[in-house]
Amino acid sequence: QQPVQSPQAVILREGEDAVINCSSSKALYSVHWYRQKHGEAPVFLMILLKGGEQKGHEKISASFNEKKQQSSLYLTASQLSYSGTYFCGTEMAGTYDYKLSFGAGTTVTVRA
């Protein structure tokens, strides 16, 4: 079942912060985050496992709220290089099938 991502799009100026949310109606085992630039392949950012952990990649961090089945991606002090479409991919608890369901994506535009 496809997770729900919000917002659909966000426009930032360099140095501003943003939060992208990814929610599921099903119990999750993990949440993956990827960034895709126009015309390129998605690039892996990080995986969050159930247990509410946080992780970081450069000044991008994420959290996973197991109770809410929601993950949030935090873009802090955004840089021009952060522009792209961010996808969350969710892995259902108990499935063990190595498959991800991707959200519809959030397009981030960072302007100078």
Partner 1 sequence: DAMVIQNPRYQVTQFGKPVTLSCSQTLNHNVMYWYQQKSSQAPKLLFHYYDKDFNNEADTPDNFQSRRPNTSFCFLDIRSPGLGDAAMYLCATSGSDGNNQPQHFGDGTRLSIL
Q: Which of 21, 28, 32, 60 touches partner 1 (CB under 8 A)? A: 32
Q: Which is nearer to partner 1, 82 or 87 (CB)?
A: 87
* Cβ contact 51:66 at 8 Å: yes
Q: How far is the CB of 58 from partner 1 (least distance, A)?
A: 16
| DSSP tag of 14 | T
Secondary structure in 3-state letters for 50-86 = CCCCEEEECCEEEEEECCCCEEEEEECCCCHHHCEEE
Q: Which of 15, 44, 56, 68 touches partner 1 (CB under 8 A)? A: 44
Q: Which is nearer to partner 1, 16 or 100 (CB)?
A: 100
Write out the two tokens for 79. Answer: 């840089």
- Amino acid letter, residue 55: K
Q: How far is the CB of 36 from partner 1 (least distance, A)?
A: 9
Which of the ranges 11-19, 54-62, 75-83, 101-109 carries the binding residues for partner 1, by CB under 8 A?
101-109
Per DSSP, the residues of 21-49 read: EEE-SS-EEEEEEEEE-TTS--EEEEEEE
Q: How far is the CB of 34 from partner 1 (least distance, A)?
A: 8
Residues that bind partner 1 (CB under 8 A): 2, 29-30, 32, 34, 40-44, 47, 49, 87, 89, 91, 96-100, 102-105
